[in-house]
Amino acid sequence: MKKILIHSGIFALIIVLANYLVQFRIDLKYMQIPLGVFVYPFTFLFTDILSEKYDKKYVLKIIKYGILLAIIPTALLSTPRIAVASVVTFFIVQFADVYIFHYLKDKYFNLWWLRNNASTLISQFLDTTIFFIAAFAFVLPWDVIIQIMIGNYTVKALMALADTPLFYWFAIRKLNKIKG
């Protein structure tokens, strides 16, 4: 039980920080990037590391508890619309990520980099699409929403690919599944 609380607490902390920071943007010439995008990908890395060590049921439990722990702080730190869009989207997308990860793990066990990257890239695309439409439709102009979505997903995809060595180190090498 202690392990579940620790994992859920870490997960919730990442969620709350990302949800707070999504309200602030970096304005580039042709693109706007919310600051939360630099934190949010760590939720996927964290659940992928947990998915490598634990079964699907355990990781889904961490997601449920983590989201429950994050609801009140998210509601207090974010606008109501962002909080609701975040929690609903997060629940859907994180479950999808775990299911995709475990499917790929079962089907292609030795291709650890595939399950790490494919599950994250697919899930983050879904997340970007669902969240930004739910959070900002009819609040921001559509061209701005699309610019934010493109910038957001680009950063998420690059971070997903860049965190592959971290996944290898913490999930694969540390578990002695691959020597070297």
In the chain, where the domains are located: 2-27+34-173
Spatial distance between the Cα atoms of 85 and 127, rounded to a whole number of angstroms: 10
Beta pairing partners, 33: 26
143 SS3 class: helix
pTM: predicted TM-score of the whole model, two decimal places: 0.90
Output the pLDDT for position 179.
45
Q: 96-114, pLDDT tens digit by residue?
A: 999 999 999 999 999 999 9
Residue 22 φ/ψ, nearest 5 degrees? -65, -20
Spatial distance between the Cα atoms of 155 and 136, rounded to a whole number of angstroms: 19
Spatial distance between the Cα atoms of 53 and 43, rounded to a whole number of angstroms: 16
Quick one: average pLDDT of 17-32?
Answer: 81
pLDDT at 120 > cutoff 50: yes
Tokens of 29: 């010439």
Helices (H), 22-111: 41-53, 56-77, 80-107
pLDDT at 54 > cutoff 90: yes
Residue 177 has a CB neighbour count (10 Å cut-off) of: 14
Angle at CA 47, nearest 5°, toward 114 and 94?
Answer: 90
Q: 138-156, pLDDT tens digit by residue?
A: 999 999 899 889 988 999 9
pLDDT at 81 > cutoff 50: yes
Beta pairing partners, 137: 140
Q: What is the CATH number of domain 2-27+34-173?
A: 1.10.1760
pLDDT at 14 > cutoff 70: yes
Spatial distance between the Cα atoms of 69 and 36, rounded to a whole number of angstroms: 18
Output the pLDDT for position 177.
53
CB half-sphere exposure, 55, CA atoms < 13 A: 1
22 SS3 class: coil
CB 149 within 8 A of CB 131: no
CB 157 within 8 A of CB 118: no
Q: How confident is the model at residue 176 (pLDDT cuts 50, 70, 90)?
A: low
CB 146 within 8 A of CB 66: no
Burial (CB count within 10 angstroms: exposed 0-12, middle 13-18, buried 19+), residue 158? exposed
